[in-house]
Amino acid sequence: MNNSPILVIGKTAKTGLRVEQRLHSLGYSTRGVSRSSSPTFNWEDSTTWRKALEGTQSAYVTFYPDLAIPSAEDTIREFVEAAKDAGLQHLVMLSGRGEQGAQRAEKVLMNSGLAWNVVRASWFMQNFSEGFMIEGIVGGELMLPAGDNLEPFIDIDDIADVAVAALTRSELRNRLFEVTGPRAMTFTQCVAEISKVVGYPVKYTSISIDDFLTALRDQGLPEEMLWLMRELFTVVFDGRNSSPTNGVEEALGRPATDFSEYLRKVMATGAWHHSGLLHQA
């Protein structure tokens, strides 16, 4: 084990947090960064990158808001050059499945001369419990422009395990792991399973993309995020990603975690009961 810290970009991000915890429990030192850390790291301000990179040899990188956005490829190109200048040797990058922009950014990394890994993930199960969908769940109705599309949602504890394996096991270097959960599910099925365990009714309502974007615009979401939402729910969510892969098994030698186990873990945290008063009437 070498002494330089492993850089984790996205200290407060859903996967970054878990990657850092796992590395600590394995005895590695880390430098977790985001806009709120010291040193600070901001994808929109390249002058913050050098300080974060200095003295590190490997990194787990989560981009924000999403590698699908048009500017991501150039930002990753500039970041990879900065990383090489700073002496980084190995970069593990989280990517999104079925996103053309993300795949262009992946290629930049693969052709950079750095040792690399790409963890190309399906939609996170934790979007229901830690992300933008939690309000719909605790409010009893999740409204999305997702129709009856099938998605093999992944438990991000699996993503963190794969990322840590990639960071710490040299025999896995220079490989792309396309990771998903074990079964493709519709939002109707996911919400029905959630409703069964939470003890209050939750339903899924499919709405039009235009109604969805209008609601988000009214909430003040910036244009870039509106573009991203349209991209995710129309282009990326057109059924191209509906087949599960065995990327978790390839990296870890064990199957991916099922939605039922994810539900068990969330129920133990109480995340879906924060607004329990809503459901006592």
Ligand X SMILES: NC(=O)c1ccc[n+]([C@@H]2O[C@H](COP(=O)([O-])OP(=O)(O)OC[C@H]3O[C@@H](n4cnc5c(N)ncnc54)[C@H](OP(=O)(O)O)[C@@H]3O)[C@@H](O)[C@H]2O)c1
Residue numbers of the site for ligand X (CB under 6 A)? 10, 12-15, 34-36, 41-44, 62-64, 66-67, 94, 96, 121, 123-124, 127, 131
Token pair, residue 209, equals 């993309």
Strands 58-61 and 115-121: unpaired
User: In the complex with ligand X, which residue's Cβ is closer, 6 or 105?
Assistant: 105
Contact of 95 with 121, CB cutoff 8 Å: yes
Q: Which amino acid is at 239?
A: G
Shortest gap between Cβ of 263 and ligand X (angstroms)?
Answer: 17
User: In the complex with ligand X, which residue's Cβ is closer, 10 or 247?
Assistant: 10
Q: Which amino acid is at 77?
A: R
Shortest gap between Cβ of 199 and ligand X (angstroms)?
Answer: 26
Q: Which amino acid is at 167?
A: L
DSSP 14-57: HHHHHHHHHHHHTT--EEEESTTSSS--BTTBGGGHHHHHTT-S
User: In the complex with ligand X, which residue's Cβ is closer, 181 or 198?
Assistant: 181
Provide the 8-state DSSP code for 154.
B
Shortest gap between Cβ of 105 and ligand X (angstroms)?
Answer: 9
Shortest gap between Cβ of 280 and ligand X (angstroms)?
Answer: 30
User: In the complex with ligand X, which residue's Cβ is closer, 64 or 227?
Assistant: 64
